[in-house]
């Protein structure tokens, strides 16, 4: 019965992973024509109207500004760096390889939750975290010149920024509403990325307007899908389905760029996914032990 109760959440997260993959494909298509920071700004600007309408509809407007501003400002700075680094790496790497590296983020969140949030991380979890890092090293294999790719390191940096942002949400979410988190996030992301992009801003090509609009729509509804998934399903049952983004990445790579992941990417991705899946299963064991 529990499995059937989780089906709506699982379906929502699979759909959200597909929407986010389409959004990332749109950013990758834009990246050869615009600086990475401009792509970051365009992605946030495209979602801004939808987020504002949703947040104002869902909340009391006066409550949106009663927040812990230092935490939100830090999250805004980290978010700009996260999205910019992601675009830098995505420009050079196939989507499947990008996702394989980025999925180190759940392991980083677990690792940093101990020193930053005081959460307990036992020995088996540390082994899973180490295994996940080994998986990343497999994906970030040395090139023919014996150097790690800058694009891969950019995605790794983006995953680290995502980790910091997620931990900030955990702290701020204790006192601030979900709507205020969304409002401050998109506002700071738009303001910061647009200002940083202005010196090198390129005129947007008319044929790209539909692509930018698509990025905004898929990003917004993808976020709603994630929210719905974790509201209507157990996190331990739902979270592993985030990894379906790897499948969407492989499919989009084949359809749009006619590339396929090599054996190193597949091996490294398998190690990372297995490590993340193990951590989620451990969370379920602990939850069942604490709440019989």
Tell whether the model's pLDDT for residue 69 goes beyond 80: no
Tell whether the model's pLDDT for residue 35 goes beyond 70: yes
**What's the per-residue H, E or C state across 68-137?**
CHHHHHHHHHHHHHHHHHHHHHHHHCCHHHHHHHHCCHHHHHHHHHHHHHCCCCCHHHHHHHHHHHHHHH
Tell whether the model's pLDDT for residue 292 goes beyond 50: no
Q: What angle do CA 46, 251, 253 make, to 5 degrees?
A: 70
Cα-Cα-Cα-Cα torsion 54, 57, 58, 63, nearest 10 degrees, comes to 110
Phi, psi of 31 (to 5 degrees): -60, -30
pLDDT tens for 230-289 read 777 776 677 778 888 989 999 999 999 999 888 888 898 899 888 888 877 665 433 333
pLDDT, position 75: 87
pLDDT, position 259: 92
C-alpha atoms less than 13 angstroms from C-alpha of 37 in its C-beta half-sphere: 13
CA–CA dist 61, 135 (Å, integer) = 45
Higher-pLDDT residue of 18 and 75 is: 18
Angle between the N-to-C axes of helices 2-30 and 69-92, in degrees from 0 to 180, rounded to the nearest 10: 70
CA–CA dist 237, 270 (Å, integer) = 19
- What is this structure's pTM? 0.85
pLDDT tens for 156-180 read 999 999 888 888 877 776 777 777 8
Helix (H), strand (E) at residue 43: helix 36-58
Q: Which residue has the tokens 């990246």?
A: 31
Residues 6+ apart with CB under 8 A from 71: 168, 171, 172
pLDDT, position 228: 84
Q: What is the DSSP letter of 259?
A: -
Report the pLDDT averaged over residues 133-155.
74
pLDDT, position 210: 96
CA–CA dist 228, 230 (Å, integer) = 6
* Average pLDDT for the chain: 84
Phi, psi of 239 (to 5 degrees): -55, -40
Phi, psi of 119 (to 5 degrees): -80, 150
pLDDT, position 288: 31
Percentage of the chain with pLDDT > 70? 86
Residue 41 has a CB neighbour count (10 Å cut-off) of 26
């Amino acid at each position: 019965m529990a499995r059937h109760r989780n089906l709506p959440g699982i379906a929502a997260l699979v759909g959200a992973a597909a929407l986010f993959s389409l959004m990332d494909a749109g950013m990758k298509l834009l990246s050869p024509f615009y600086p990475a920071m401009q792509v970051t700004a365009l992605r946030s600007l495209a979602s801004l109207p939808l987020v504002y309408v949703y947040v104002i509809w869902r909340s009391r407007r006066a409550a949106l500004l009663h927040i812990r501003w230092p935490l939100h400002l830090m999250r805004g700075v980290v978010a700009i760096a996260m999205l910019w680094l992601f675009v830098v790496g995505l420009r050079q790497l196939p989507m499947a390889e990008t996702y394989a590296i980025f999925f180190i983020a759940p392991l980083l969140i677990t690792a940093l939750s101990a020193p930053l949030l005081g959460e307990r991380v036992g020995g088996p979890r540390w082994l899973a975290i180490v295994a996940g890092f080994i998986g990343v090293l497999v994906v970030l294999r040395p090139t023919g010149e014996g150097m790690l790719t800058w694009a891969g390191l950019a995605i790794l940096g983006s995953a680290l920024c995502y980790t910091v942002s997620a931990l900030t949400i955990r702290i701020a979410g204790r006192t601030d509403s979900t709507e205020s988190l969304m409002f401050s996030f998109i506002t700071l992301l738009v303001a910061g990325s647009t200002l940083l992009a202005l010196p090198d801003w390129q005129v947007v090509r008319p044929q790209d307007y539909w692509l930018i609009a698509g990025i905004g729509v898929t990003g917004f509804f993808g976020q709603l899908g994630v929210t719905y998934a974790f509201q209507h399903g157990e996190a331990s049952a739902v979270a592993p389905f985030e990894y379906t983004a790897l499948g969407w990445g492989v499919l989009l790579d084949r359809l749009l760029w006619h590339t396929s992941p090599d054996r190193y990417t597949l091996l490294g991705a398998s190690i990372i996914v297995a490590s993340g899946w193990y951590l989620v299963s451990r969370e379920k064991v602990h939850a069942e032990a604490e709440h019989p």
